[in-house]
Structure 1
Amino acid sequence: MEFGMATRRLSPADEEKISNLKIAVSTLNQISENDKSGFIDLVSRYLSGEAQHIEWSKIQTPTDEVVVPYDTLAPLPEDKSEIKKLLDKLVVLKLNGGLGTTMGCTGPKSVIEVRNGLTFLDLIVIQIEKLNAKYGCNVPLLLMNSFNTHHDTLKIVEKYMNKNIEIHTFNQSQYPRVVVEDFTPLPCKGNTGNDAWYPPGHGDVFPALINSGKLDILLSQGKEYIFVANSDNLGAVVDLSILGDRKSVLHLVFCCHLVHLKILNHLINNKNEYCMEVTPKTLADVKGGTLISYEGKVQLLEIAQVPDEHVSEFKSIEKFKIFNTNNLWVNLHAIKRLVEGGALKMEIIPNPKEVDGVKVLQLETAAGAAIRFFDHAIGANVPRSRFLPVKATSDLLLVQSDLYTLSDGFVNRNPARTNPSNPSIDLGPEFKKVSNFLSRFKSIPSIIELDSLKVAGDVWFGAGVTLKGKVTISAKPGLKLEIPDGAVIANKEINGPEDI
């Protein structure tokens, strides 16, 4: 039994559930044998009551040796050929299984246009292509798709065929949703559509790499480490722009792009099999998972694991000062060893859903929770610039505004912004879909000096609008409120044309 893990024997009723489930799953010809066995294993672990019990008194704050401050990492070698050797050991993997449905889009989220007509995927390809060209290396890009994004992604990557980048795609597992009432797979109930299935979380990245055959291919090419990140995190880049140009140090300070190959260099030199990038918490991140030292190991502590009486303590940014960005560096040989040994038993995340009025359950795992199974695992405390996710149109407003510039595929923070924090943006439901969001702005306002923006109701923005300080714009019910071209709004609450 792994440390901190507790299980109980399956009850006769649960053993019967598993037995019936195995029979039902064996009839599902839509999925592979690997997926069938992985699914049964996950459900069996769930029914056994397997859980990680945290003793609050044993939690310790990690030392700087466990969560390494970025500025203490050793400098990179000056020789360009040595840098090429490091890069040739690296693979970049983007988690590409998500759809853009929360933003009103169809297809993979990675093809939403972010800036200047370029999508998330375009920016990722441009970044790696520039890296390969500059150092004469071969850093391949892997895209882990789900059954939801697979076919669309295959069509999309065709346009990169002539680029200086090797792109691999593979699918994560496809598991059936389980009907809560009788623990029968939903596809066995006659529902044969996509909503009868689910991808079991990004913790599935490790077995999926092996099941797809991609991991063995990468090892045969001499690759040693894989950098895993969400496709919608614009901060998760491998950037070497400072190298060979010492004048770019000021650019580095302002734009917050750091030489993150230093992390890879550190991992290789110290034989660290796993590294999670963490960054200082703000009040917006209080629910985010954090790294702790527990019984001699570093591990991820999620809010769901925290006893009720300690939740407020967990949310304190004074005690738990860092959170997980989900930018992960992992040794490929270690992945192979642990997956083939059946050792990666991350905490199970139950996710209840409802499909056509039927209550179903999907069981998931998270890649960050795997940290405690790897030898000499560490965290790296990186600048906030490494975490720039676009989860909603409010995030899209930030990255499309003059708060950022775009160069060689990198989204850079505008040095004219003196406040280290980004503005707080709260857009009403009228702006939720990308199409509606775009239609309501003639052009994205200038927000260099903005602290917070709250918009509610039927609001439309003209061209060349400037927002400063704390701004609230709330249209009265039934009123269309238009912000005129060139308007400058500073520290003001707008409820009608008379307030502008």
Structure 2
Amino acid sequence: MAAQTDAAKITATVVSVDDKLAKLRGEVDKLDQISENEKTGFISLVSRYLTGEADQIEWSKIQTPTDEVVVPYDTLASPPEDLEETKKLLDKLVVLKLNGGLGTTMGCTGPKSVIEVRNGFTFLDLIVIQIESLNKKYGCNVPLLLMNSFNTHDDTQKIVEKYSNSDIEIHTFNQSQYPRIVTEDFSPLPSKGKAGKDGWYPPGHGDVFPSLNNSGKLDLLLAQGKEYVFVANSDNLGAIVDMKILNHLINNQNEYCMEVTPKTLADVKGGTLISYEGRVQLLEIAQVPDAHVDEFKSIEKFKIFNTNNLWVNLKAIKRLVEADALKMEIIPNPKEVDGVKVLQLETAAGAAIRFFDKAIGINVPRSRFLPVKATSDLLLVQSDLYTLVDGFVIRNPARTNPANPSITLGPEFKKVANFLARFKTIPSIVELDSLKVSGDVWFGSGITLKGEVNITAKSGVKLEIPDGVVLDNKDVNDPKDL
């Protein structure tokens, strides 16, 4: 009798999933703002989510990858020194920047890539200058692709016009636009009158592979003889073209490479690479059973994390997308829009690693991971810790500590405009270990910070740090402390 009851429950679940999908499919078919490819991709993602199609990680099967799987960067062979040989390598390469994010967390409107980073140059300016200098130096043609979202497309198109005379081929394409799902009845939010941007979402950077194909850009690049795409976040200033990596991948016919770097306590939630049932795989914190979360966060057992700098073979992308084989883990992301609880389902590009042949990680120096996620990161890259050469952000050799200073700025500094207003000039931080600032603090010009510095303005008090001051291992709570 119990077995019959269980069977009835399973049947009921299947029916309800099928009913939900049939209803959703009917409503999505009526949405004319998106293409047939987008509708198919969305329904496929929802179907996988509803049927619970997920590969559960068996913790006991996780193995630490060997040096053959995660190759130490310093063991890579030097690339050819001959200019003509280098040109041949670079002519096989395309650079793709993930450009779908807005700078809203830093108080900016429009694409994050147009925030000014240094010397009046934006992220996008620096990326263009870098590739231009490569093309000029080697006489090669490395194109730049920008994957936008519907949030960043219009602004990016206008911005790209200013590079029309530059020595670089720039392509833009949009990642998919999927409808947010109303949690209560599993219907698409746009079908409830939310036809504006709030009704939709871009489904994570795992969407880069189908979107590259659907846009026609993949076929165009293959026709040009391109073999590898280097994918990176547009806000990672360390993600520059690396000849040693490209040379290694071409010589070893690796279809996929993820750059990883040693984990610090600031990166404990970052995804890591594992060997699992004979393949290399990305392990994200969301996949970790509760009992093992502390172990996952340990920098003793899991020593590396994903920088999201990825090198992928273009023919392999074509093969896997056409076979609909890229079933990356689904990341459910609950949100609320005007009081309505919604769900968006996303995927991450790094999770695709297990589907490619001869996939590897390369354990790269920390300098290849320099993201600007907050104004504290902006302080680092605008300081004397770095200089700018041909669009490349170069670290100051005078800094002997390989780690960057730890910087924590209070909410008064969160928005870029407020951050810039509170510094007459960015302090010298070559000898700084950590900085914590809270309250209404204002910095003069020519200030030097060394060691551990804590600055706290009491409630209702404006604390001004005067020009030219040197703060060395200092706690400042009052003007008298200066």
TM-score by length of 1: 0.93
1:57 matched to 2:55? The reply is no
Give the equivalent residue in structure 1 for 2:118.
115
Residue 353 of structure 1 aligns to a residue whose secondary structure is strand
Out of 257, 265, 270, the residue aligned to residue 288 of structure 1 is: 270
Which of 82, 87, 103 is the matching residue for 1:79? 82
Q: Distance in 2 between matches of 1:27 and 1:373?
A: 34
* Alignment partner of 2:156 out of 140, 153, 158: 153
Cα 1:89–1:8 change in 2 (3 A) is farther
Aligned to 2:107: 104
Q: How far 1:10 sits from its partner (Å)? A: 6.0
Distance in structure 2 (CA, Å) of the matches to 1:159 and 1:373: 39
**Distance in 2 between residues matched to 1:73 and 1:486, nearest whole Å:** 45
Q: 1:234 offset after TM fit, Å?
A: 0.1
User: In structure 1, what is the equivalent of residue 231 of structure 2?
Assistant: 228
Indicate the residue corresponding to 2:221 in structure 1.
218
**CA displacement, residues 388-442 of structure 1 (integer Å, 9 cap, x when unaligned):** 0000000000000011111110001101111111000000000000000000000
Residue 140 of structure 1 contacts residue 165 of structure 1 at CA under 8 Å; is this kept in 2?
yes
Identity value in percent: 82
Q: CA 1:230–1:10 in 2, change beyond 3 Å: closer, same or farther?
A: farther
Does residue 137 of structure 2 align to residue 134 of structure 1?
yes
Q: Distance in 1 between the 2:12 and 2:79 partners? A: 52
1:90 touches 1:227 (CA, 8 Å); kept in 2? yes
Deviation string 1:139-168 (CA, Å, 9 cap, x unpaired) is 000000000000000000001011110000
* Corresponding residue number in structure 1 for 2:375: 393
Q: Which residue of the partner structure matches residue 396 of structure 2? A: 414
Matching of residues 187-198 of structure 1 within 5 Å:
187-198=190-201
Aligned-partner Cα distance in 1 for 2:205–2:296? 24
In structure 2, the CA distance between the partners of 1:34 and 1:8, relative to structure 1 (3 Å rule), is: farther
- Which residue among 372, 388, 402 is the counterpart of 2:354? 372
Unpaired runs of at least 5, structure 1: 1-6, 239-259
Label 1:336 to 1:284 Cα distance change in 2 as closer, same or farther (>3 A). Answer: same
SS in structure 1 of the partner of residue 259 of structure 2: strand
In the alignment, which residue of structure 1 is the partner of 2:94? 91
CA deviation after TM superposition for structure 1 residue 174, in Å:
0.2
For residues 82-481 of structure 1, the aligned pairs below 5 Å read 82-238=85-241, 260-481=242-463
Q: Give the whole-Å Cα distance in 1 for the aligned partners of 2:196 and 2:96.
A: 28
Counterpart in the other structure of 1:492 = 474
Structure 1 residues 181 and 482, CA gap change in structure 2 (3 angstroms): same
Q: Deviations over 1:441-483 (max 9, x none)?
A: 0010111111111111111101111111111111111111111
In the aligned structure 2, how far is the partner of 1:54 from the partner of 1:224? Answer: 33
Whole-angstrom CA distance in 1 between matches of 2:153 and 2:53: 32
Write the distance in 2 (CA, Å) between the matches of 1:361 and 1:388.
Answer: 31
1:269 positional shift: 1.3
SS in 1 for 2:65: coil
Give the SS at the match of 1:52: coil
Query: How far, CA to CA, are the matches of 1:268 and 1:423 in structure 2?
Result: 36
Counterpart position of 1:251: none
User: Would you say the 8 A contact 1:201–1:366 is kept in 2?
Assistant: yes
Q: Runs of 5+ in structure 2 lacking a partner?
A: 1-9
Query: CA contact under 8 A between 1:8 and 1:50: conserved in structure 2?
Result: no
Structure-2 separation of matches of 1:81 and 1:412: 26
Q: CA deviation at 1:90?
A: 0.2
> Shift of the alpha carbon at 1:8?
11
Q: Secondary structure at the match of 1:317?
A: coil
2:450 is the alignment partner of 1:482: no
**Partner-residue secondary structure (3-state), 1:419:** coil
Confirm or deny: 8 A CA contact 1:69 1:381 kept in the other structure. yes
Q: SS at 1:15's partner residue?
A: helix
CA distance in 2, matches of 1:226, 1:261: 13
TM-superposed deviation, 1:78: 2.4
Equivalent-residue separation in structure 1 for 2:18 and 2:48 (angstroms): 12
Runs ≥4 in structure 1, deviation > 3 angstroms? 7-10
Instruction: Please tell me the residue identity of whatever aligns with 2:283.
Output: L
Rounded Cα–Cα distance in structure 2 between residues aligned with 1:266 and 1:405: 29
Equivalent pairs, count = 473
* Normalised TM-score (structure 2): 0.97
> Is the contact between residue 10 and residue 47 of structure 1 (CA under 8 Å) also seen in structure 2?
no
